[in-house]
Structure formats: structure tokens, C-alpha cells
Amino acid sequence: MEIDMIKAGIIGATGYAGGELVRILAAHPDVEIKWYGSRSYIDQKYADVYRNMFEIVEDVCRDDNLEELAEQVDVIFTATPQGFCASVMNDNILSKVKIVDLSADFRIKDVNVYEKWYGITHPSPQYIGEAVYGLCEINREEVKKARLVANPGCYTTCSILTAYPLVKEGLIDADTLIIDAKSGTSGAGRGAKVPNLYCEVNENIKAYGVASHRHTPEIEEQLGYAAGRPLTLSFTPHLVPMNRGILVTAYAKLREVSREDGSQGLPSYEQIKAAYDHYYSKEKFVRVLERGVCPETKWVEGSNYVDIGFVIDERTGRIVMMGALDNLVKGAAGQAVQNMNLMFGLPEDAGLGLIPMFP
């Protein structure tokens, strides 16, 4: 039986995440892009904005009218700044199309926490409850039934997936969790900002949002669900001079467990590996690396994979957990497509057979 093509619209199609959505969806076997929304480039050819789409995309950019767009497509991706999606959301739109929102508008369940960390008033808190947090490896069944998915960001995806099995299984003291994360500059978006200029970023690395980064409560909330109680953790992001990639290095105190010989002590390598394998061995896009191999951003670039590794530090009683992903793919657009596939009953990896690029 012939399957109808899914008609998709993208709002924010000329940002970095939006451009990556176009790249992935243009090659998706079951999707037709009907709308390239961009308030900054209305009536300009999309291929004039992104020349890699020359003779691939012939359409012009349009505005961000979701009411009109909802009449023409089956799914809308909103790759927009915080506050936009929530400001235009209504029952009429949600009755006609499915929404995958790449902003943080519907990720955090406590509206007071959202407003505190993002510094804006939430215009449509009535939809927060039904929005599904779109981390497919954890919320797959809920995503399948959703009409509104809050697509996680890059830092949060990498941080949560790296620590999740050990928090869920109680192998670490989650209150001791410290997450050190580093991102390529595309994570800051395509807008012209002095801190992102070449001379500001090149030959430099810097921490930012120290003890105040707005992804912190999102990580705490999701890992808190895994722990079965509220968590407080330390999260520090850094900007590094590369285009793409997230590398997370997380540290936590190990909890004593019953070991294979019946004694009490720190978990063995085999017990930690078994925890990761329990949650990820059947996951297409999570690769738990072999012993002694640390994740590197260059081995996931351009792909929807997350690479995870760990080292037990017996001297300190801690574990070092490491994760790497491409912030524009698994950290944004690839994950959004993964969510869309689930929402429409497609194979989860449809259109995402992206082998990591090297060099």
C-alpha cells in the first residue's frame, strides 16, 4: 500500500537547527517540506541563504504564520527562540497538526521554574502538562501518542543520556553529580553576536552561564524523574572553537552495592557496563563504547549518534561519565526528526541513517 508523504513545515528554517532540519528532511523518504518559514528572509530563495541547497531546494522563505501553515501540513517544526512557540500555540492549531518544538517553551513542567530561569512570562502554560519531553530513548511510548513534543536541547540530551542509567539504578549518589560540558559555536545560534565572532572564539575556551545556565533545571527535572525524587546538581557549560559537537564529562560519587562475590563495595566495571547495556543495548542511536575508549566529538559529527563511555576512579570512589553528540543533529534537528518518526508511526531511524563524517 502506498503511504502518503508527510507534509512538513519549518518555522525558523534559516537558523542553524532549522537548516539542519532541511538537510535531513530533504532526504527523508516519507516527508515533503511544504513551508520554509523565516521572518528574516521572507520572499528570498532558501538556496540563496544556504547555498548548499542550490538546485535542491527551489522554494522561497515565508513568514511564521502558524494558523495558515496548519491548514497545509501534517507536522510543524518550530526552531525558534524561547517564547515564540508558546505565544502562538492554541487549540485550533493543535487540532490540525502535530508540533515538534525545538525551543524550551514546553520542556519544564513547573511554569514558575521556566519563568525564573528564562526571564519571560509563559504565554500558554495550559499546554505544558500535555507536552511530552521528546527524549526518545526514555519517553518513546509517550512520544508516539503526542501531538506536542518538547524537543530537548543539545546540552540536556547529552547530559541526561550520559548519566541516566546510573541514576536510575541508584549506582551513584545523584546529589554529588557535577556536569562539565563543552559546545561548538553553532550551539549559540546564527545571530550576529560579538562573543561569537571569529576573533573572540578562535584560540580560546571559556565557561559561561556558571551556576546559572538555563538548561540546569531541565537536566535536574529529567534526572529527578529517574531518581524518583528532586535533584540538585552542578552544571557548567563551556564554549570551544569548533563548529559542531557537545562533550560532557560528568562526575559523581559511587554508591556501595553487593558485588559479584557477595561483598559490599563500589560497583565493578561489569556492573556499571551492565547498567548501561540494560538501557541502551537495543538503542539505535546510543553507542556505549568499549572499555578504555573515551567519546570524541569527531566520531559523531554529522550523525544522530550519542557515544558514551565511563571510567571508575577507585582512588576517589567516583565515576567519570562521558558523552559526545553533534549538537545540531541528535542535539536538535535529528532528534526532532526521530520524534516525528515516532509520532507518525514510521521506523524511528527513517531519514537518519547519517554516518558520522570524518575528517
CA nearest 342: which of 160, 138, 155, 157? 138
Q: Strands 31-37, 6-11: parallel, antiparallel or unpaired by DSSP?
A: parallel
Q: How many CB atoms lie within 10 A of CB 284?
A: 16
- pLDDT at position 2, please? 47
- Largest distance between two CA atoms of the chain: 70
Nearest C-alpha neighbor of 221 from the set 270, 131, 156: 156
Return the amino acid letter for 137: E
Residue with cell 552495592: 257
Q: Residue 182 and residue 121: Cα distance in Å, rounded?
A: 29
User: Of all helices (H) and strands (E), which one includes residue 323?
Assistant: strand 318-325
Contact 202, 241 (CB under 8 A): yes
Which residues have C-beta within 8 Å of that of residue 193, sequence separation ≥ 6?
Answer: none
Q: CA 296 to CA 176: how far, in whole Å?
A: 25
Within a 10 A sphere around the Cβ of 267, how many other Cβ atoms? 22
Q: Is the peptide bond before 359 cis (omega within 30 degrees of 0)?
A: yes
Question: Which strands form 286-288's sheet, in the order they lie side by side?
Answer: 206-207, 234-239, 172-183, 246-254, 318-325, 306-313, 286-288
Q: How many residues does the chain have?
A: 359
Distance CA 250, CA 162 (A): 8
Q: Which residues are catalytic?
A: 154
Residue 189, sorted as left (phi over 0), alpha (psi -120 to 50) or beta, turns out to be left
**In this structure, is the dihedral angle defined by the CA atoms of residues 223, 322, 190 and 151, taken in order, positive or negative?**
negative
Q: Which residues pair with 132 in a beta bridge?
A: 149
> Domain extents for the chain?
6-130, 155-327
Question: What is the number of other CB atoms lying within 10 angstroms of the CB of residue 298?
Answer: 14
Q: How much is the pLDDT for 259? A: 80
- Residue 40's Cα: distance from chain center in Å? 25
CATH topology of domain 155-327: Dihydrodipicolinate Reductase; domain 2 (3.30.360)
10 Å Cβ neighbour count for 151? Answer: 31
Q: Is 260 helix (H, G, I), strand (E, B) or coil?
A: coil
Q: What is the pLDDT along the chain (359 residues), one digit of tens a residue?
A: 345 899 999 999 999 999 999 999 999 999 999 999 999 999 999 999 999 999 999 999 999 989 999 999 999 999 999 999 999 999 999 999 999 999 999 999 999 999 999 999 999 999 999 999 999 999 999 999 999 999 999 999 999 999 999 999 999 999 999 999 999 999 988 887 898 889 999 999 999 999 999 999 999 999 999 999 999 999 999 999 999 999 999 999 999 998 878 889 999 999 999 999 999 999 999 999 999 999 999 999 999 999 999 999 999 999 999 999 999 999 999 999 999 999 999 999 999 999 999 99
CATH number for the 6-130 domain, one of 3.40.605.10, 3.40.50.720, 3.90.1530.10, 2.130.10.30? 3.40.50.720
- Torsions phi, psi of 344, nearest 5? -105, 10
- Secondary element (H or E) of residue 137: helix 136-144
| Same fold yes or no, 6-130 and 155-327 | no
